[in-house]
Amino acid sequence: MIRNPARLTFPMLFTLAAASAAAADVSDIMRGCNDCHGENGVSEWTEIPTIAGLAEFVHADALLIYRDADRPCQDTTYRRGDTARPATNMCEIAATLNDAEIEAVAAAYAELPYVRAAQPFDAALATAGKAVHDEHCDRCHTDGGTNPEDEAGMLGGQQSGYLAASMKHYRDHERDQPDKMQEKIDLLSDDDVKALLNYYASLQ
């Protein structure tokens, strides 16, 4: 389901020629992605998100937003492979991809299993965070934010450093989001956010 047709410039159905071109390139593109995001898109680093198992729409839309430089793009270094390569960021990487490549990459990662990160958490804060999630987030992020059918970002078991940075971007209005989500984000206190991060970290 397309929630933002203006953002998605590619058609839902590709011609055979476009699909073949994307299929030929997708393995090479994914190797580059995995050099930051981990083997098969499963991150081992707190500030880097796992992208395996993301809903196809969510992943494709994120890449299009990065390509338009409409989302914060911090420079980062490669974690795997040739780690001597210069630092880069998601806006620069997405700018090299065409619509067919974006769709193909998003579809390929959507087929991979989402692996929840094993990371430390405070049990009491996690309990408080579940209450915050159930009140403010569960309507759009069901199953602790781990259901790809919601067509929303993965939260439960996602890397905490990445989630903390994303929360800051949302709260500082540096990252575009639906009005209903902005309303919910604006209601959260610092303690609420800390509790949420511990809850999502507890879903291992």
What's the CATH superfamily of 123-202?
A: Cytochrome c-like domain (1.10.760.10)
pLDDT greater than 80 at residue 8: no
- Give the residue-averaged pLDDT of 160-174: 96
Mean pLDDT of the chain: 90
Output the CA angle 53-24-29, nearest 5 degrees: 50
C-alpha to C-alpha distance for 201 and 204, rounded to whole angstroms: 7
Classify the C-alpha dihedral 144-80-102-104 as positive or negative.
negative
Listed by start position, the domains of the chain span 16-110, 123-202
CB 159 within 8 Å of CB 48: yes
Query: Is-same-fold flag (16-110; 123-202)?
Result: yes
CATH 3.20.20.70 fits 16-110, yes or no: no
Q: What pLDDT score does 134 carry?
A: 97
Q: 120-156: per-residue pLDDT in tens?
A: 999 999 999 999 999 999 999 999 999 999 999 999 9
As given in the structure block, the two tokens for residue 33 are 């992605």
- Give the residue-averaged pLDDT of 36-62: 97
Q: What pLDDT score does 20 carry?
A: 52
- Give the residue-averaged pLDDT of 67-77: 95
- Give the residue-averaged pLDDT of 16-45: 81
pLDDT greater than 70 at residue 23: no
Q: What pLDDT score does 178 carry?
A: 87
pLDDT band, residue 177 (cuts 50/70/90): confident
As given in the structure block, the two tokens for residue 10 are 């590619």
Q: 74-125: per-residue pLDDT in tens?
A: 999 999 989 999 999 999 999 999 999 999 999 999 999 999 999 999 999 9
